[in-house]
Amino acid sequence: MMTNEVILEMSGINKRFGATRALSDMRLTIRAGEIHALMGENGAGKSTLMKILSGVYQPDSGQILLDGKPIAIKGPSDGRRAGINLIYQELSVSTNLTVAENVFMGSEPRGRFGLVDHASMRMWTNDVLKMLGAPFNADTHAGKLSIAEQQQVEIARALVHKGRVLIMDEPTAALSDRETEHLFRVVRKLRDEGIAVIYISHRMAEVHALADRVTVLRDGGYVGEMTRDELDPTRIVQMMVGRPLGDFYQHKAGRVPGRMMLEVENLSGAKVKPASFSVRAGEVVGLAGLVGAGRTELARLIFGADRKHSGEIRIDGQPVQTPDPLSAIKLGIGYLPEDRKGQGLFLQLSALTNTTLNVVSQHARAGIINHKALEKLTQDAIARLNIKVPGPAGIVGGLSGGNQQKVLLARWLEIKPRVLILDEPTRGVDVGAKSEIYRIIHELSLQGVAVVVISSELPEVIGICDRVVVMREGQITGEVSGDAVTQENIMTLATHAGEPAANAPVALQAA
């Protein structure tokens, strides 16, 4: 449990990347045996501060004290030797290696004659995986793991070298509720063993469930901290954004659904049973369900990213074919994928390239691209979506998660979509960016766009959607609308409770 023993202090920490100020006179105090939440909007400096603490970055100025003594952390190896381990927000699993090889990468135990001790690697890895409740073992090839399972590998890597301070940067972003609960038990166990856990999360419920103390950052600076008995979500959000947030979700007032824009009839694929639903122009329809329910797979069938087995898609009343994404784009269908880094963005390229990728051909004549036109499109998108980037030439890989998401969203807005499918549009983004994305979704609906939102956060689904279609095990099990859009009704359809007859989805409406 938390003690009054301060084991780590950071003070006067400053860091710039070119003209961008990432941290300004930042400070942080960590005690032994505590879970210390670090909160702030994307771009507030949380990850930068932790990369300085773990030796990935070097501060321009400032001091780090460990047990009251100054320490120089010149690289990640120095951080590990000091007992400081970081679980990165970005996955860094090598898919060509086994789980054990990933866990011990760069720190393999050696036996006789200096040879790698594979037996010990497997044993220690399996011990940690068991503690995490992972459904795979040390010998599993990492390329066969899902994103959520790869996240567990990242966590296992840090726990094997648990040391004295463990930094977790958005560790549950890709985990299911069950996997998250396993992780919470592990985090509490580490705290009880006297380890300090620095926990970065945008999810207020997680912070409330775990944190002994919270430090809030804004614009690279220290705003304040509070203890567990002082935790107040409203106050935390106001400290993070620097203003009262008001109603977090956009109200649905003013939305008047128009003609039928998207109709899906008996659409099936490898992991989707015959599915039928519709979305009107100006309507926001949610796709809800537990992890693995088939929501993403259904979206990919509509977009042509996966091959359909049967069924029909109609846009504005006309049957259409989407054998591939290019065909879908030409029909005015946009799809923002769940994995923005792996499937959406080109992280080494500029905001201009990422934003205008789908419309370059519209601004070229005789093979010559009109770069001024593309630059103006990007500048307009930056202003309209409030993207924090130095300019059109700014590299997307250096942006915060929320700003990366808005760049990807800007790309799809450039095609002037009639149908826009958003798969986990606010995953891994802060409350400020979430609010802005909700605003954009609301404005799109007012412009007559048919919007489909896939989200694992039920308050989000309820807050922004006019209707919710629920899936389970690859099948649509029902639909809720009006006052019937409640967590209880959605979860009833998403689980086996009140299971409908085969091929007979349940429709729940307001009285």
Domain CATH code at residue 61 = 3.40.50.300
Q: What is the pLDDT of residue 161?
A: 75
Residue after which a domain boundary falls, among 241, 271, 294: 241
Closest listed residue to residue 379, CA positions, set 399, 358, 394? 394
Evaluate whether 246 touches 268 at the Cβ level (below 8 Å): no
Look at the chain and report how many structural domains it folds into.
2
Q: Does 224 map to a domain?
A: yes
Q: Does 311 map to a domain?
A: yes
Q: How far apart are CA 247 and CA 286, in angstroms?
A: 20
- What is the four-CA torsion angle of 355, 357, 361, 364, rounded to 10 degrees? 60
Q: What is the pLDDT of residue 216?
A: 93
Q: How far apart are CA 191 and CA 188, in angstroms?
A: 5
Dump strand ranges (E) for 385-503: 419-423, 450-454, 467-472, 475-481
Residue after which a domain boundary falls, among 213, 241, 269: 241
3-class state of residue 388 by DSSP? coil
Q: Based on the domain organization, do 463 and 492 belong to the same domain?
A: yes
Report pLDDT digits (tens) over 241-269.
Answer: 776 555 566 567 778 899 999 999 999 99
Q: How far apart are CA 445 and CA 73, in angstroms?
A: 50
Q: Based on the domain organization, do 105 and 212 belong to the same domain?
A: yes
- What's the length of the chain? 511
Q: What is the pLDDT of residue 90?
A: 66
Burial of 318 by CB count in 10 Å (0-12 exposed, 13-18 middle, 19+ buried)?
A: exposed
Q: Based on the domain organization, do 266 and 226 belong to the same domain?
A: no
Bridge-based pairing state of the strands 35-39 and 196-200? parallel
Element counts in the chain: helices (H) and strands (E): 16, 23
Q: Does 464 map to a domain?
A: yes
* In the block, residue with structure tokens 């905001």: 351
Bridge-based pairing state of the strands 310-315 and 165-169? unpaired
Closest listed residue to residue 432, CA positions, set 22, 20, 43? 43
Evaluate whether 321 touches 314 at the Cβ level (below 8 Å): no
Q: What is the pLDDT of residue 6?
A: 92
Rg (CA), the chain: 24
Residues of the chain where predicted confidence (pLDDT) is lower than 50: 497-504, 511
Evaluate whether 16 touches 60 at the Cβ level (below 8 Å): yes
Q: Does 363 map to a domain?
A: no
Q: Based on the domain organization, do 231 and 272 belong to the same domain?
A: no
* In the block, residue with structure tokens 């210390």: 36
Q: Does 193 map to a domain?
A: yes
Cβ neighbours of residue 283 closer than 8 Å, sequence gap 6 or more: 255, 257, 261, 445, 450, 451, 466, 467
Evaluate whether 28 touches 10 at the Cβ level (below 8 Å): yes
Q: How far apart are CA 364 and CA 343, in angstroms?
A: 26
In this prediction the pTM is 0.62
Q: Does 83 map to a domain?
A: yes
Q: How far apart are CA 458 and CA 435, in angstroms?
A: 16
Q: Based on the domain organization, do 138 and 215 belong to the same domain?
A: yes
CB atoms near residue 435 (< 10 Å) = 20
At 225, the amino acid letter reads E
Q: What is the pLDDT of residue 290?
A: 79
Q: Does 380 map to a domain?
A: no
* In the block, residue with structure tokens 């030409």: 330
Q: Based on the domain organization, do 278 and 226 belong to the same domain?
A: no
Q: How far apart are CA 281 and CA 257, in angstroms?
A: 6
Q: Based on the domain organization, do 324 and 272 belong to the same domain?
A: yes
Q: How far apart are CA 228 and CA 71, in angstroms?
A: 29
Domain region containing 213? 6-241
Eight-class DSSP state of 343: I
Record the tokens describing residue 242, joined without a space: 């620097």
Q: Does 398 map to a domain?
A: no
Q: Based on the domain organization, do 221 and 285 belong to the same domain?
A: no
CB atoms near residue 168 (< 10 Å) = 27
Q: What is the pLDDT of residue 89?
A: 66
Residue after which a domain boundary falls, among 211, 241, 271: 241
Q: Based on the domain organization, do 155 and 125 belong to the same domain?
A: yes
Q: Based on the domain organization, do 46 and 119 belong to the same domain?
A: yes
Q: How far apart are CA 491 and CA 3, in angstroms?
A: 40
Q: Based on the domain organization, do 202 and 302 belong to the same domain?
A: no
Q: Based on the domain organization, do 341 and 225 belong to the same domain?
A: no
Sign of CA dihedral 69, 75, 80, 81: negative
